[in-house]
Amino acid sequence: MYVDKLLSVFVAAVCVVMLIRMALSETRRQQLDRIFNQTWFAVRRRALAVWHWRRHRQSKAQAKQVAQEVINRVRHRVDKDGNVYTPEAFKEPRKPH
């Protein structure tokens, strides 16, 4: 029952706004449309930001963790001989061209 009343109030409000819009001059109508569009896009942008905030935070943390794992893997695989880094891959014999 509550949803029916809420929907009917919403439809009535939309009808009143459209009636007022029809009574306005062309320049006022354009101003009203511009304000409505700006408000709509601002609300939409914020809603999407809130909607994606948690997933973005999790993916950012996951990317940071993966990057740290790669850095640690590379650091531990490389041997240092004096001031020269000598990875294991360079010690394998290569075929001449």
pLDDT digits (tens, 9 = 90+) for 28-63: 999 999 999 999 999 999 999 888 887 777 788 888
In angstroms, rounded to a whole number, what is the distance separating the alpha carbons of residues 78 and 55? 35
The backbone torsions φ and ψ at residue 96, rounded to the nearest 5 degrees and listed phi first, read: -75, 150
- Asked whether residue 9 is assigned to any structural domain, the reply reads yes
This prediction has a pTM of: 0.46
Q: Is the pLDDT of residue 81 over 70?
A: no
Q: Is the pLDDT of residue 84 over 90?
A: no
Residues of the domain holding 55: 2-76
| Per-residue model confidence (pLDDT) at position 62 | 85
How many domains, the chain? 1
pLDDT band, very low/low/confident/very high, at 65 (cuts 50, 70, 90): confident
- Asked whether residue 67 is assigned to any structural domain, the reply reads yes
- Asked whether residue 85 is assigned to any structural domain, the reply reads no
